[in-house]
Amino acid sequence: MSVKLSVVIPCYNMGAYVTEAIDSVLSYPNQDLIEIIVVNDGSNDQGFTKSVLEAYTNSNITIIHQENQGLGAARNNGIKVSRAPFIIALDADNKLRHEYIDYGISILEANPTIGIVYGDNRQFGVNNQDIIVGSFDVSRLLKKNYIDACVVLRKTAWESVHGYDENMPIMGYEDWDLNMRLFFKGWQFKYVQEICFDYRLRENSMLVTSNKNKDLLIDYMFSKPELEQAKLLRDKIIGYYDYKEILKNFKKRKVIRAAIKLERPIKSINKLFKK
């Protein structure tokens, strides 16, 4: 039986968590369908992460050790050696659910124009809640990074846009950048309304740190020639939402002014009754 899906796990100093990520994939019932590729991206934790990874001897697990090159390069290098037509990019501190593999394979096999399958997730750690992502909306995609990196990706779609950007000025939003380039290349997105993976939220997680550098990363992404149309559309969308917010605030101010005008005679009447 040929391998249908490769789970690529970039790993940097994640020895404390990566076993949970790997084991969540190893518990999938049909191991013949999948392979796991872990890319140790130059972990510098006195060999701890390396020793954790080398304890795995499963035939369908490949461990790659490389000098630190960043998240985009780690994902790309894992995908390059993958044998399957479909890829899941799983962060080393998250956990995959079995259903996601099944959904991804069946949807992508049946629909050759779909490049990405994505679903909901359950946050755990410093915060515990279900994140319901919702159906694909290009205006929402252009406005913010609302689809997590843990997607089921068609390998030929990844190839068509030359993979993840390895030159982001600061690590973060590699997935958002890829998703936008895929959309403007003509690939379709499919939403699965199910909890597909568990997202560990830590104090220093990527979600927290990338948001701190949001403006710099956005300026970099939308300066790309292939995202010129995306930038024009995004500017219009942002302008529209800004207009709606201004209008809403204007209406609020009108209501407040009217309330103040109404309050003055009421206070005068109250004074009369107090005399």
pLDDT range class, residue 272, cuts 50, 70, 90? very low
Instruction: Decide: helix, strand or coil at residue 105.
Output: helix
Average pLDDT (57-72) is: 96
Task: Please determine, for residue 212, whether its predicted confidence score (pLDDT) is greater than 80.
Answer: no
Rounded Cα distance, 210 and 149, in Å: 13
176 vs 268 pLDDT, higher one? 176
Decide which of 13 and 247 is more confident.
13
198 pLDDT more than 50: yes
Tokens in use for 60? 């369908």
CA distance 90 to 36: 10
Output the pTM of the full model. Answer: 0.83
For the chain, count helices (H), then strands (E): 10, 9
* Pairing label, strands 95-96, 5-11: unpaired
> φ, ψ for residue 68 (rounded to 5)?
-60, 120
pLDDT for residue 186: 96
252 confidence band (pLDDT: 50, 70, 90): low
CATH architecture of the domain covering 5-221: Alpha-Beta Complex (3.90)
Between 21 and 258, residue with greater pLDDT: 21
DSSP 126: S
pLDDT digits (tens, 9 = 90+) for 235-245: 877 766 554 55
Q: Using 50, 70 and 90 to split pLDDT, how confident is the model at 91?
A: very high
pLDDT at 7: 99
Band of the pLDDT at 266, cuts 50, 70, 90? very low
Q: Regarding predicted confidence, which is higher, 107 or 247?
A: 107
Find the mean pLDDT for residues 18-35: 98
Quote the pLDDT of residue 102. Answer: 98
CA distance 130 to 124: 9
Q: Is the confidence at residue 267, as pLDDT, over 70? A: no
Q: pLDDT: is 216 or 27 the higher one?
A: 27
263 has pLDDT over 70:
no
As a whole-number percent, the residues of the chain with pLDDT over 70 amount to 83
Residue type, 20: E
Least confident among 28-32, 87-91, 219-223 = 219-223
Banded model confidence at residue 210, pLDDT cuts 50, 70, 90:
low
Domain parsing of the chain, residue ranges? 5-221, 228-275
For residue 214, pLDDT beyond 90:
no
Of 16 and 273, which is predicted with more confidence? 16
The mean per-residue pLDDT over the stretch 126-146 comes to 93
Please give the structure tokens belonging to residue 238: 């942002």
